[in-house]
Structure 1
Amino acid sequence: MFWASYLLAAMAVILAWPVPVLLARAKWTARAPVTALVLWQAIALAGGLSMIGAMLTWGLEPLGENLLAGLQGLADLLVSYTPAPGLDLIHVFALSAALLLGVHLVFTLLLTYYRIRKQRNKHRDLLNLLSSPVKNSPKTLVISHPAPVAYCLPGGGGSVTVLSEGLLELLRPEELEAVLNHERAHLNQRHDLLLWAFAAWRSALPWLPTSQLAQRAVNELIEMLADDGALRTANRETLIRAVAVVASGERPSGVGAPAKELLTPEESEALSTAHRLHRLLSPSPPLGKPAQALVLACSALLLAVPTVLLLAPGLAG
């Protein structure tokens, strides 16, 4: 396992810096958001597995030729209390570091879930006091607020979509329906689970710049997916107008004009910096199936390589 630990360490470094940076800058992700999300998840899982695996294989190297044999050797060592040849302080330190990092990641994941769940329950209690359900739609709540606001609050069977009175006053019926479908797509596709996982990654490794890149990229991608969900029933012009109204907080002039003409130059410049709106205003063809298959294959390979390095008997000496 000696060389396996070095290969895992190298893979951890590659997945912690250059790969996420390049992916965050890639243009193709907007053309295949589902495929891009799979790749981001593979990078996160393979990166964590490589970090822990590198330290674990280094620490267990004197005890076995692979992870399972090394763990068996460690268990025998702990039961018999007999010293193992070659197991020195450096190996013990590596094993301790791997254990601490693994516990830290799992604990942060659970703690993040607890915090999110607590915030949602508190928010839901406030909504019960300050909101009223929409007629014939009990899972859509309206709050008394002049600003245009729309968001969803996940919670399994208790999931709700929240709208503000300011939004209802600004949007036309077809635009409101597009916004509702966007929020429903978030709930139906369980985007909250992705946000939870990447928020936990950022909390666990705040010193890692790419954890911030990943969270930002994932946020953008799920918004694109929700837009795609809304576009199944709403036309593109309607959705763009709805997004423009929510972003600017006012109804643009030019009723019935094309969506691009409804934006002032200042609004257009500001909105063009957002990948989501740029994608709506200037749609590109979906990424080809061969390219998507290649990305998915790379995602599978990212997970397979550290697994093989950990489990293959005698690999890399």
Structure 2
Amino acid sequence: MLLTSYFLAALAIALAWPTPLALSKAKWTARAPVQAVLLWQAIALGGGLSMIGSMLVWGLAPLGDDLISALHGGWLLLTGAPDVPYPGVVHLFALSAALLFGFHLVSTLILAAWRTSRQRAKHRQLLRLLSNPSETRPNTLVIDHDMPVAYCVPGISQSVTVLSRGLLTQLSDQEQQAVIAHERSHLEQRHDLLILAFTAWNEALPWLPTSRLALDAVRQLIEMLADDKALENVTRHTLLKAIVTVATAAATDDSSSKNHSSNAGLVGMPDGEVSSRRLQRLLSPQEPLGRPQRVVVLLSTIMLLICPTVLLIAPRLLAW
């Protein structure tokens, strides 16, 4: 049990600092955004499970040789069994820390989901007053604004895409199709749930710089995924022109840019900022990551999820 706690602690440290730092600088992620997003999720889940698990296993070590027997011993101790050894102050402190940390992560996620839901509801009320349904596109609202603006508002029952009058007048039909396909891919692939999870992780661990790195990296990867979806309907040149037109108009009006950014953050979606890596990926497309490399990434993703889980249940595997 103690060896397992040390291993889980080392894994938690690796997933909390050097691994996210290296992945955020990796260049291959732009060639395989799907696999990169999955790997980021595995790092976050595996890191949280390792952190909680290391403290939990350390705290329960005097009560059994594995997690199941230790939990059974803890139950016997609570029920007043005389033959169960008392774990001691240090182990009780570790056990309390594990429970508090787990509660903190879960409560932060629930709070972030509740806050996002409330903000989306308020935003929908504003849209009812300030927008009109599109006559040609379903589930699309048009706001009376001169700037080319496009974003999406996810919902449980119905999601909507919001376009501005400026976007409809300044962009060609093909460019409009590129922007709409990009935004709707966010809705279809439920990117808002990914952003919500990593936002909650960042809020729960604001002292951990890599939690911000993970959030920024996932935002960029999600924009790349949406670009790939848009490229199924339009040419690369058309998508680039639409992106540059929207980004340039936003940059020329600081106040409008702030409003757009806040709206995107309000609904828990990517803020749509055009990063240099995203533009470079569109300007100089590279070959997708090879199949062997993608298999290695997927196997690493699976191992990051399986390893801490299996060790929590069967810590004796380390003795083999």
Instruction: Give TM-score, length-normalised by structure 2.
Output: 0.90
Q: Which amino acid aligns with 1:67?
A: L
Structure-to-structure mapping, 1:88-103, within 5 angstroms:
88-103=88-103
Match of 2:288 among 277, 286, 289: 286
Partner of 2:115: 115
Per the TM alignment, residue 315 of structure 1 is displaced from its structure 2 partner at its CA by 4.1
Per the TM alignment, residue 162 of structure 1 is displaced from its structure 2 partner at its CA by 0.5
Q: Deviations over 1:160-185 (max 9, x none)?
A: 00011121221011100110000111
Structure-to-structure mapping, 1:58-207, within 5 angstroms:
58-80=58-80, 82=82, 84-85=84-85, 87-207=87-207
In structure 2, what is the Cα distance between the partners aligned to 1:246 and 1:156?
Answer: 28
In structure 1, what is the Cα distance between the partners aligned to 2:80 and 2:288?
Answer: 60
More deviation, 9-18/154-163: 154-163
In structure 2, what is the Cα distance between the partners aligned to 1:309 and 1:6?
Answer: 11
Partner of 2:6: 6
Per the TM alignment, residue 138 of structure 1 is displaced from its structure 2 partner at its CA by 3.7
In structure 2, what is the Cα distance between the partners aligned to 1:83 and 1:100?
Answer: 28
In structure 2, what is the Cα distance between the partners aligned to 1:156 and 1:2?
Answer: 45
Partner of 2:56: 56
Per the TM alignment, residue 316 of structure 1 is displaced from its structure 2 partner at its CA by 4.1
Q: Which amino acid aligns with 1:160?
A: V
Per the TM alignment, residue 277 of structure 1 is displaced from its structure 2 partner at its CA by 1.3
Partner of 1:268: none
Q: Which amino acid aligns with 2:148?
A: P
**Secondary structure at 1:283 match in 2:** coil
Contact 2:220–2:275 (Cα < 8 Å) also in 1: no
Q: Which amino acid aligns with 2:158?
A: G
Q: Deviations over 1:226-274 (max 9, x none)?
A: 0000000101000000001001119xxxxxxxxxxxxxxxxxxxx9952
Q: Deviations over 1:204-229 (max 9, x none)?
A: 11111110000000000010000000
More deviation, 40-49/86-95: 86-95
Match of 1:298 among 297, 300, 303: 300
Partner of 1:23: 23
Per the TM alignment, residue 66 of structure 1 is displaced from its structure 2 partner at its CA by 1.1
In structure 2, what is the Cα distance between the partners aligned to 1:272 and 1:140?
Answer: 23
**Secondary structure at 2:316 match in 1:** coil
Change (3 A) 1:86 1:295: same
Change (3 A) 1:82 1:164: farther
Partner of 1:311: 313
In structure 2, what is the Cα distance between the partners aligned to 1:95 and 1:83?
Answer: 21
In structure 2, what is the Cα distance between the partners aligned to 1:40 and 1:61?
Answer: 31
Change (3 A) 1:14 1:159: same
Per the TM alignment, residue 313 of structure 1 is displaced from its structure 2 partner at its CA by 5.1
In structure 1, what is the Cα distance between the partners aligned to 2:145 and 2:22?
Answer: 41
**Secondary structure at 1:145 match in 2:** coil
In structure 2, what is the Cα distance between the partners aligned to 1:102 and 1:272?
Answer: 35
Contact 1:52–1:101 (Cα < 8 Å) also in 2: yes
Per the TM alignment, residue 278 of structure 1 is displaced from its structure 2 partner at its CA by 1.2
**Secondary structure at 2:286 match in 1:** coil
RMSD between aligned residues? 1.6
Q: Deviations over 1:34-58 (max 9, x none)?
A: 0000100000000000000000000
Which runs of 5 or more structure 2 residues have no equivalent in the other structure?
251-272
Per the TM alignment, residue 16 of structure 1 is displaced from its structure 2 partner at its CA by 0.1
Instruction: Give TM-score, length-normalised by structure 1.
Output: 0.90
In structure 2, what is the Cα distance between the partners aligned to 1:148 and 1:137?
Answer: 17
Q: Which amino acid aligns with 2:215?
A: Q
In structure 2, what is the Cα distance between the partners aligned to 1:313 and 1:140?
Answer: 53
In structure 1, what is the Cα distance between the partners aligned to 2:174 and 2:77?
Answer: 69
Partner of 2:270: none
Change (3 A) 1:272 1:227: closer
Partner of 1:259: none
Per the TM alignment, residue 308 of structure 1 is displaced from its structure 2 partner at its CA by 2.1
Q: Deviations over 1:62-90 (max 9, x none)?
A: 00111111111111111126474351100
**Secondary structure at 2:65 match in 1:** coil
Contact 1:272–1:278 (Cα < 8 Å) also in 2: no
Per the TM alignment, residue 150 of structure 1 is displaced from its structure 2 partner at its CA by 0.5
Contact 1:61–1:70 (Cα < 8 Å) also in 2: yes
In structure 2, what is the Cα distance between the partners aligned to 1:134 and 1:156?
Answer: 21
Change (3 A) 1:202 1:272: closer
Contact 2:153–2:159 (Cα < 8 Å) also in 1: yes
Q: Which amino acid aligns with 2:187?
A: L
